[in-house]
Amino acid sequence: MKVLVPVKRVVDYNVKVRVKSDGSGVDIANVKMSMNPFDEIAMEEATRLKEAGKVTEVVAVTCGVTQAQETLRTAMAIGADRGVLVETTPEIEPLAVAKVLKALADKEQPQLIILGKQAIDDDSNQTGQMLAALLGWPQATFASKVVLEDGKVTVTREVDGGLETVALSLPAIVTTDLRLNEPRYVTLPNIMKAKKKPLETVKPEDLGVDVAPRLKTIKVAEPAKRSAGIKVPDVATLVQKLRTEAKVI
């Protein structure tokens, strides 16, 4: 069984981004870029399924600029057998990504596609669900446990107020939540091995996909700043302030 794992190159989660002064976007020049953390979890899960003998091949795919090859190399260092870069502008929208992935899935015929539930740059949380709809496949989003057996996948999902379990026929889509697994540290030997793995580059046109944006970003602004308040010396002062000043209790 083949598994496809789409990954995204994003601003590293430790970087505090700055809004450009002309309001056109966020300044990502010269900031550290990494694999989206949820995609790392997806990559780890696919690798574990392969190590458990349930999966024969893991293919990592990304949409983005040439440098996104680095993200694919990281994916291959975790455990992907090969990588596919679909060269696009960095601002590609989730719907366009889903269309690109559908075209690749039609070609590669995976039985399972595991994606991160959201990218930490645009926080959209759409691609997996959109891909499932375009392919006509069932989906299990926000996964905290994935069991692949007997031609189906049983997934425990994180939902508001607790957990929910669904069973899907294959092929299927799974999107990962934070606590599905803890991604391994990538070792130097594996990074070296990853350099030798096949990496293919294609363009959306080659796949017959229109990636034109549907949304126009009018502006990007700093959020309203919250100013620091005061430190109070003791709980008596705190309670008094909450009652008479803030009037919240």
Partner 1 sequence: MVALVIAEHDNAALKGVTLNTVTAASQCGGEVHVLVAGAGCGAVAEQAAKIAGVSKVLVADAPHFADGLAENVAEQILAVAGAYSHILAPASAFGKNVLPRVAAKLDVAQISEITKVDSPDTFERPIYAGNAIATVQSTDNVKVITVRGTGFDAAAAEGGSAAVENVSAVADSGKSSFVGRELAKSDRPELTGAKIVVSGGRGMGSGENFKLLEPLADKLGAAMGASRAAVDAGYVPNDWQVGQTGKIVAPTLYIAVGISGAIQHLAGMKDSKTIVAINKDPEAPIFSVADYGIVGDLFEVVPALVKELG
Q: What are phi and psi of 101, to 5 degrees?
A: -65, -35
- How far apart are alpha carbons 27 and 54 in whole angstroms? 42
The amino acid that residue 147 corresponds to is V
User: Which SS3 state, helix, strand or coil, does residue 53 take?
Assistant: coil
Nearer to partner 1 (CB atom), residue 11 or residue 42: 11
Q: Do the beta carbons of residue 100 and residue 204 sit within 8 Å?
A: yes
Residues that bind partner 1 (rule: CB under 8 A) add up to a total of 80
Q: Do strands 2-6 and 112-116 pair parallel, antiparallel, or not at all (unpaired)?
A: parallel
By CB under 8 A, residue 190 contacts partner 1? no
Total residue count of the chain as it appears in this document: 249
Closest CA to 100 of 202, 214, 217: 202
Closest CA to 46 of 194, 134, 157, 174: 174
By CB under 8 A, residue 133 contacts partner 1? yes
Neighbours of 104 (CB within 10 A): 23
By CB under 8 A, residue 161 contacts partner 1? yes
Q: For partner 1, what does the binding mask look like between residues 205 and 244, x meaning CB under 8 A?
A: --------xxxxxxxxxxx--x-xxxxx-xxx-xx-xx--
Q: Do the beta carbons of residue 174 and residue 140 sit within 8 Å?
A: yes
The amino acid that residue 177 corresponds to is D
Choice from 54, 82, 87, 134 touching partner 1 (CB under 8 A): 134
- How far apart are alpha carbons 194 and 171 in whole angstroms? 27
Choice from 132, 174, 194, 209 touching partner 1 (CB under 8 A): 132
Choose one: 16-24, 40-48, 58-66, 107-115; the region binding partner 1 (CB under 8 A). 16-24
Nearer to partner 1 (CB atom), residue 53 or residue 161: 161
- How far apart are alpha carbons 78 and 74 in whole angstroms? 6
CB of 80 to partner 1, least distance (A): 24
Choose one: 1-9, 44-52, 56-64, 155-163; the region binding partner 1 (CB under 8 A). 155-163
Q: Write out the H or E segment, with its range, that includes residue 155.
A: strand 152-159
Nearer to partner 1 (CB atom), residue 189 or residue 245: 245
Of residues 34-93, which lie at the interface with partner 1 (CB under 8 A)? 38, 93
Nearer to partner 1 (CB atom), residue 188 or residue 249: 249
By CB under 8 A, residue 111 contacts partner 1? no
Choice from 61, 139, 143, 174 touching partner 1 (CB under 8 A): 139
Nearer to partner 1 (CB atom), residue 192 or residue 242: 242
Choose one: 53-61, 130-138, 186-194, 198-206; the region binding partner 1 (CB under 8 A). 130-138
Choice from 39, 40, 44, 158 touching partner 1 (CB under 8 A): 158
